[in-house]
Amino acid sequence: MRKPCCEKEGTNKGAWSKQEDQKLIDYIKAHGEGCWRSLPKAAGLHRCGKSCRLRWINYLRPDIKRGNFEQDEEDLIIKLHALLGNRWSLIAGRLPGRTDNEVKNYWNSHIRKKLIKMGIDPNNHRLNQIIPRPNPQNDCVSAAATSSGSMSNISACTKAPIKSSREIDQRASQATSVLEDETSGSSSRDLNLDLTIAFPNPPLLVGEEMQKNIKGSFTMAREIETNLQHSPTLALFR
């Protein structure tokens, strides 16, 4: 039987106090990150190591960018989610100063609902059939789907108000895709995205490690190529 990551008894849970934050900051400033398991004891914190790590990474790290997401950040998140799915850490890696937790929360509380309102299934980035077909007076979907710009105009495009998040979820679960054939067929040929993957701060690699990394890049590129064939939201960024 595997030991739990930390002793449950005697450890604090829930919101962090100012004093706890300060202790953690002071300790990491003095000793650096690493060995989260032993850190709480060494820093005089009655917390689980995992909890300390999370607090540091998501909140206390000095390079964290707080505050609202910019429009371009939001666009990038949607774009990357269409390519990578729920790999929040990968997505956050492309947004300087943002954490995976923050990106995940923002997706769930803002972007997801926005996409649903537009009639786009946030899970697979496909258009849902419950949204009225394009017509001159209620043309949100077609406007978005054919736009050559970004997602910036999405909010102006919600003509039929949806009252609650519950309704949004309900609509999402009821909806089925109508464009599967289109997206897997001819329309996917129109996608012309730059698939270059830039790895942040690439380390100097030698020999085996470099080969491993290259192999990984190809795997990811292949995966992205597959996703592309099914993600109409990507067309929004052309």
Partner DNA sequence: AAAATCTACAACCGCACCAGT
Partner DNA sequence: TACTGGTGCGGTTGTAGATTT
Contacts of 15 (CB under 8 A, 6+ apart): none
Tell me how far, at minimum, the Cβ of 236 lies from DNA, in Å: 21
Q: How many residues bind DNA (CB under 7 A)?
A: 41
Cα distance between residue 120 and residue 132, in whole Å: 12
Q: By CB under 7 A, tell whether 3 contacts DNA.
A: yes
Residue from 102, 125, 144, 231 binding DNA (CB under 7 A): 102
Tell me how far, at minimum, the Cβ of 201 lies from DNA, in Å: 14
Closer to DNA by Cβ: residue 10 or 14? 14
Closer to DNA by Cβ: residue 114 or 145? 114
Residue from 50, 65, 159, 215 binding DNA (CB under 7 A): 50
Q: By CB under 7 A, tell whether 101 contacts DNA.
A: yes
Contacts to DNA from residues 72-91, by CB under 7 A? 86-90
Closer to DNA by Cβ: residue 89 or 146? 89
Contacts of 50 (CB under 8 A, 6+ apart): 5, 6, 36
Q: Are 152 and 73 in contact (CB under 8 A)?
A: no
- Count Cβ atoms within 10 A of the Cβ of residue 119 and give its class: 0-12 exposed, 13-18 middle, 19 or more buried: buried
Q: By CB under 7 A, tell whether 164 contacts DNA.
A: yes
Contacts to DNA from residues 184-203, by CB under 7 A? none
Residue from 40, 45, 51, 75 binding DNA (CB under 7 A): 51
Closer to DNA by Cβ: residue 60 or 228? 60
Tokens of 20: 């706890």
Closer to DNA by Cβ: residue 146 or 158? 158
Residue from 23, 27, 28, 49 binding DNA (CB under 7 A): 49
Q: Are 237 and 75 in contact (CB under 8 A)?
A: yes
Contacts to DNA from residues 10-39, by CB under 7 A? 12-16, 34-37
Q: By CB under 7 A, tell whether 61 contacts DNA.
A: no
Binding site for DNA (CB under 7 A): 2-3, 5, 12-16, 34-37, 47-51, 53-55, 58-59, 86-90, 100-102, 104-106, 108-110, 113, 163-166
